[in-house]
A and B are shown apart, each in its own frame.
Chain A
Amino acid sequence: MSMLAQGRPTKQEENLIMPEQTGTETHTGNRALIVDEPLIFERGSPDRSGVDLPQAPDVETRLGGLERSSAIGVPGLSEAETVRHYTRLSRQNYAIDVGLFPLGSCTMKHNPRLNEKMARLKGFADIHPLQPMESVQGALQTIYELADWLKKLTGMPAVAMSPKAGAHGELCGILAIRSALEARGDAREVILVPESAHGTNPATAAFAGYKVEDIPANDAGRVDLEALKARLGPDIAGVMITNPNTCGLFEPDMKAISDAVHEAGALVYCDGANFNAIVGRVRPGDLGVDAMHINLHKTFSTPHGGGGPGSGPVVFSEALAPYAPLPFVEKMDNGHFYIVEEETAEDHHESSFGRMVAFHGQMGMFTRALTYMLSHGADGLKQVAEDAVLNANYILRQLEDVLDAPFADSGPCMHEALFSDKGFTNELSTLDLAKGMIDEGYHPMTMYFPLVVHGAMLVEPTETESKAAIDEFIGAFRSVAKRAKAGDEALKTAPHHAPRRRLDETLAARKPILVWKEPEEFAEAAE
């Protein structure tokens, strides 16, 4: 992920060379294959449609007098126009399929197409969540098998499959912790979160009703164990640790942290966003973790889709297993599977803290992730971690001469390399470097995250990049970094070659236009 620094001012640049000036302007405003595509509201109309529907039967309606009388205001297009509209728009997007996507903390690995094929088998895609359980035994077995993989990969005895994304998984874990503490009559108020944590961590803790306090880091970029121990006490419910952490470093004191936290009567939540660095090689269960969410859309290759859907199952320790939410899948003695819902929870799982979402979870992502796990196997997944870590270290060492890498001297990084903007001149920033990378044909790395490093740039190549692809990326990154150090003015107005120049985010926030309006409507609203 990357950090948007709110209110970055942009304005029409004085030194911009517009196409009119070079005589290269076009009648359409298009630039060859990059076509400016209007909105559907500007292209379509309410009486156009791209579907043919059968005639409705000739019967009286029974809508209780609530028939719609006014227009909705949604346009339609024919099929060909629709396909063209979205095809043109798609071509204005960067994607993993287009090139290396170095977003630290996001794990933008290749999304295998076998996953897509399997998810679309009608036996998975065309089944309803409330069908009688005997009619969906294959689906329940799929969930059960995936749950088994997750438990074995993490060395944890239980898993909640229903959370819909990582942040939802974090909420699940924190609510389980809260339930466990309330069950022993020891409700506590505070959760400790490192300053370097992903924003969802404190947001989740607050959403669950906790006060959040920072845990400081030491100079080596790790959790300050002594400071943590000093703060532990009867008001601390738990800690949320990311391991490897958001600086791309393993927390070598993780077991000691867990032990200290447990001794103080609290519990350990681990943010599993960076699991790609250790999958198949280290089991978080061996590190004393009580709950950890896993991002299937990161480590296990389900597609990011432009903002989801994700899936965030949560593995639990023995201490938290009884509190896991509903529903989940269990196996009977006769080998058949059933879903433990509100009804059966009382017999088997009376401490469950309840249901977090309608139905059973992200089945579409389960089929994709299981397909991926079966493809890699235990040996392949271990190789995934090793190649991910190797690739990141290679990038770190190839660039540490030209970019400041705050932790480069203290040893290897894990699956991501962290750089800062130290040494940039002429008031150039990480943002400017990032926009320069766009012109080079790359999506920028994660920017301004973690917060603990100035102008942070977090680079995660993942294991699905070849050495050749990484070398090309390094060449581009090196070139733009050098320009940033040299104070190259042109970076301030980058990107120059993307479908859009820098966009005015300040304006967007100051005068939000969140829906399309007819021009007259819009003029009225503005008055």
Chain B
Amino acid sequence: MRYLPQTPEDRQAMLASIGANHVDELFIDVPKEVQLDGPIRDLPMHAGEMAVEAHMKALAKRNHAAGDMPFFLGAGAYRHHVPASVDHIIQRGEFLTAYTPYQPEIAQGTLQTLFEFQTQVARLFGVDVANASMYDGSTACWEAIVMARRITKRGKAVLSSGLHPHYVSVCNTMARFTKDKLVYEAPSFAAAGDGDTLLDQIDDDTSCVVVQYPDILGRISDISALAEKAHAHKALLIAVVTEPVALGALKSPGEMDADIVVGEGQSLGVGLQFGGPFVGLFGCKQKYVRQMPGRLCGETVDAEGKRGFVLTLSTREQHIRREKATSNICTNSGLCALAFTAHMTLLGEKGLRELAMLNHKKAVQVADRLGSIKGVSLMNDSFFNEFTLVLDHDARPIVRRLADQRILAGVSLGRLYPEDEALAYGLLVAVTETSTEEEVEILAAALESELS
């Protein structure tokens, strides 16, 4: 078998040197009654590469790949063009098959890229420090709320209605167990967002306010007023960024005085991958660094005085602190962080700002084009590369029918908020640099047809 290098002769020689006749003797501590007498039934036996490829290719073929048809989905996962070099970089065996850098002398490759990643994320977010990644944006969001609880010693978090409903769902699940109180209601088609409501909800029991920027309906709001009021009540402002490319065009949450900024880095380097693996981004102000979850890479020197990098502030973490750790996270999303940082490096500031403008201006064109269709109205006054259309029919069946015609029209709000009748007419449309005019016209024609 191609992944098992031992020959029968090797095995015999090794058994002999151990003083055993058969490998079964090495399983002597395992009670006989639970040892299986042969390979597990109902599972296939081994297969060569060709057969395995055929099986997997058949599965892959049964999916509509985004690049093969008009595609306009977003809602927390975005289709961007990843430059060809990125995938080659992350497939270098020294990155792909490396371990967590616990032995820094032979892991400077991983450690230096993590340091660069941390710096890029901190700068993008406008905060002082960032960690070496979390699993994804939704778990990073919950960890931020937990961190706010540790810092403020309060248990009530106010969640904006603009927070991704999956993220809200994750927080609700965890809060049931930790007894944190979450204040939240689903959004409505109000172009202004819920900033005023949130301001009213901040009081002396609040640990944090959590806002998404841009939010789930694509709205962009100035969060400085929220920061100010939160701080007046000694609460924290947590900003959630599900589309980091937006920060190439928009003011950063840190500039608006957010205390913790978390997000999903998938847009850069990582690709759609049906939802995972993704990469959670986590940054905060300097004064909170010792309360951060996750790995941190820091600069130091070696015994010859040369600069090097190591994992640091490990007393926060599970392998040192065990039940007193800030989080239980161990394996995070290292290779995706590498993809993110490599993509950012290829873009550079200039490239990121151009990419952001390209996304936004294309989205403006598409929004106006689609908003002009009879039966469609554009909800947003402002947006980055994703906006909400309000249709005069239930959007969800339309999206399904268009998918059958090989048009991936966007995410219906009915899919995200199945209980909410009012939102059923909403359609989230994302436009990136990968969308073409031709595809837009195909979508427009299809919507016209559906709504006539």
Tell which of B107, B255, B296 has the most Cβ of chain A within 10 Å.
B107
* In the assembled complex, B272 has its CB within 8 A of some CB on chain A: yes
Nearest residue (CB) in A for B76 is A358
Contact residues in A for B95 (Cβ distance below 8 Å): 86, 90, 93, 95, 305-306
* In the assembled complex, A520 has its CB within 8 A of some CB on chain B: no
Contact residues in A for B61 (Cβ distance below 8 Å): 123, 138
Nearest residue (CB) in B for A19 is B304
* In the assembled complex, B291 has its CB within 8 A of some CB on chain A: no
Q: Please judge, given known A-B contacts A1-B102, A68-B251, A76-B348, whether A305 and B335 are in contact too, CB under 8 Å.
A: yes
Residues B89 and A86 in contact, CB atoms below 8 Å apart: yes
Q: Which listed residue (B100, B169, B324) contacts A304, Cβ 8 A?
A: B100
* In the assembled complex, A10 has its CB within 8 A of some CB on chain B: yes
* In the assembled complex, B287 has its CB within 8 A of some CB on chain A: no
Interface size on A, residues (CB 8 A): 218
Residues A114 and B323 in contact, CB atoms below 8 Å apart: no
Residues B418 and A443 in contact, CB atoms below 8 Å apart: no
Contact residues in A for B351 (Cβ distance below 8 Å): 49-51, 53, 76
Contact residues in A for B418 (Cβ distance below 8 Å): 342-343
Residues B42 and A91 in contact, CB atoms below 8 Å apart: no
Interchain CA distance A281-B24 in the complex, whole Å: 10
Residues A124 and B108 in contact, CB atoms below 8 Å apart: no
Q: Which listed residue (A41, A98, A397) contacts B116, Cβ 8 A?
A: A41
Residues A166 and B331 in contact, CB atoms below 8 Å apart: yes
Contact residues in B for A200 (Cβ distance below 8 Å): 318-319, 328, 330
Q: Please judge, given known A-B contacts A72-B248, A116-B91, A204-B328, whether A50 and B65 are in contact too, CB under 8 Å.
A: no
Q: Mark B88-120, 1 if CB is under 8 A from A, else 0.
A: 111111111111111111111110111110111
Nearest residue (CB) in A for B88 is A83
Q: Please judge, given known A-B contacts A149-B43, A281-B27, whether A508 and B310 are in contact too, CB under 8 Å.
A: yes
* In the assembled complex, B258 has its CB within 8 A of some CB on chain A: no
Contact residues in A for B113 (Cβ distance below 8 Å): 86, 89, 306
Residues A91 and B94 in contact, CB atoms below 8 Å apart: yes
Q: Mark A135-153, 1 if CB is under 8 A from B, else 0.
A: 1111101100100010011
Nearest residue (CB) in B for A155 is B40
Cβ < 8 Å to B, chain A residues 82-141: 82-83, 85-87, 89-98, 101, 103, 106, 108-112, 114, 116-118, 120-132, 134-139, 141
Q: Please judge, given known A-B contacts A200-B328, A353-B173, whether A306 and B274 are in contact too, CB under 8 Å.
A: no
Residues B331 and A310 in contact, CB atoms below 8 Å apart: yes
Q: Mark B160-172, 1 if CB is under 8 A from A, else 0.
A: 0000101101101
Residues A94 and B26 in contact, CB atoms below 8 Å apart: no
Residues B167 and A6 in contact, CB atoms below 8 Å apart: no
* In the assembled complex, B443 has its CB within 8 A of some CB on chain A: no
Cβ < 8 Å to B, chain A residues 383-414: 383-384, 386-387, 389-391, 393-394, 397-398, 411-412, 414
Residues B338 and A306 in contact, CB atoms below 8 Å apart: yes
Interchain CA distance A342-B305 in the complex, whole Å: 56
Interface size on B, residues (CB 8 A): 216
A87 to chain B, nearest CB (A): 7
Q: Which listed residue (B19, B41, B129, B382) contacts A514, Cβ 8 A?
A: B129
Tell which of B308, B322, B325, B334 has the most Cβ of chain A within 10 Å.
B322
Interchain CA distance A249-B29 in the complex, whole Å: 8
Which listed segment binds A: B77-85, B204-212, B228-236, B444-452? Answer: B77-85
Residues A393 and B96 in contact, CB atoms below 8 Å apart: no
Q: Mark A52-80, 1 if CB is under 8 A from B, else 0.
A: 01111111111111111111111111010
Q: Please judge, given known A-B contacts A12-B305, A63-B249, whether A124 and B60 are in contact too, CB under 8 Å.
A: yes
Residues A378 and B274 in contact, CB atoms below 8 Å apart: no
Cβ < 8 Å to B, chain A residues 205-253: 205-209, 212, 249-250, 252
* In the assembled complex, B298 has its CB within 8 A of some CB on chain A: yes
Cβ < 8 Å to A, chain B residues 45-67: 45-49, 51-53, 55-67
B137 to chain A, nearest CB (A): 7
Contact residues in A for B375 (Cβ distance below 8 Å): none
Q: Which listed residue (A297, A375, A493) contacts B303, Cβ 8 A?
A: A493
Interchain CA distance A403-B61 in the complex, whole Å: 54
Interchain CA distance A297-B322 in the complex, whole Å: 22
Tell which of A131, A249, A444 has the most Cβ of chain B within 10 Å.
A131
Residues B310 and A505 in contact, CB atoms below 8 Å apart: yes
B314 to chain A, nearest CB (A): 5
Residues A508 and B298 in contact, CB atoms below 8 Å apart: yes
Nearest residue (CB) in A for B108 is A92
Q: Mark A1-27, 1 if CB is under 8 A from B, else 0.
A: 111101000111100101000000000
Interchain CA distance A130-B13 in the complex, whole Å: 54
Residues B299 and A508 in contact, CB atoms below 8 Å apart: yes
Interchain CA distance A178-B384 in the complex, whole Å: 42
* In the assembled complex, A315 has its CB within 8 A of some CB on chain B: no
Contact residues in B for A209 (Cβ distance below 8 Å): 177-179
Interchain CA distance A438-B106 in the complex, whole Å: 8
Q: Mark A500-526, 1 if CB is under 8 A from B, else 0.
A: 111111011100111110000000000
Nearest residue (CB) in B for A123 is B60
Contact residues in B for A516 (Cβ distance below 8 Å): 115-116, 119
Interchain CA distance A324-B209 in the complex, whole Å: 30
A300 to chain B, nearest CB (A): 12
Residues A128 and B43 in contact, CB atoms below 8 Å apart: no
Nearest residue (CB) in B for A2 is B102
Residues A411 and B101 in contact, CB atoms below 8 Å apart: no
Residues A355 and B166 in contact, CB atoms below 8 Å apart: yes
* In the assembled complex, A255 has its CB within 8 A of some CB on chain B: yes
Q: Which listed residue (A37, A72, A308, A513) contacts B112, Cβ 8 A?
A: A37
Residues A203 and B321 in contact, CB atoms below 8 Å apart: yes
Interchain CA distance A123-B329 in the complex, whole Å: 31
Residues A386 and B23 in contact, CB atoms below 8 Å apart: yes
A386 to chain B, nearest CB (A): 5
B304 to chain A, nearest CB (A): 5
Residues B347 and A375 in contact, CB atoms below 8 Å apart: no
Residues A308 and B333 in contact, CB atoms below 8 Å apart: yes
Nearest residue (CB) in B for A81 is B345
Interchain CA distance A57-B20 in the complex, whole Å: 75
Nearest residue (CB) in B for A85 is B345
Residues B28 and A66 in contact, CB atoms below 8 Å apart: no
Nearest residue (CB) in B for A499 is B108
Residues B303 and A50 in contact, CB atoms below 8 Å apart: no
Q: Mark B116-134, 1 if CB is under 8 A from A, else 0.
A: 1011101110001110110
Residues B319 and A142 in contact, CB atoms below 8 Å apart: no
Residues A309 and B322 in contact, CB atoms below 8 Å apart: no
Residues B276 and A362 in contact, CB atoms below 8 Å apart: yes
Contact residues in B for A481 (Cβ distance below 8 Å): none
Nearest residue (CB) in B for A142 is B59
Residues A82 and B355 in contact, CB atoms below 8 Å apart: no
* In the assembled complex, B239 has its CB within 8 A of some CB on chain A: no
Residues A515 and B101 in contact, CB atoms below 8 Å apart: no
* In the assembled complex, B302 has its CB within 8 A of some CB on chain A: yes
Contact residues in A for B62 (Cβ distance below 8 Å): 123, 137-138, 141
**With contacts A94-B106, A305-B95, A382-B39 known, what are 12 further pairs, Cβ within 8 A?**
A12-B303, A39-B112, A68-B353, A72-B252, A89-B108, A134-B403, A165-B330, A167-B329, A305-B96, A307-B331, A355-B170, A509-B312
Can you spell out 23 A-B residue pairs with CB atoms less than 8 angstroms apart? A1-B319, A12-B304, A50-B83, A50-B348, A57-B365, A66-B220, A86-B95, A89-B109, A118-B52, A122-B67, A124-B63, A134-B403, A166-B330, A200-B319, A202-B322, A250-B29, A252-B31, A306-B109, A358-B167, A359-B136, A375-B3, A493-B303, A505-B312
Top 6 A-B pairs, shortest CB-CB distance: A76-B348, A359-B275, A307-B334, A305-B335, A123-B60, A138-B62
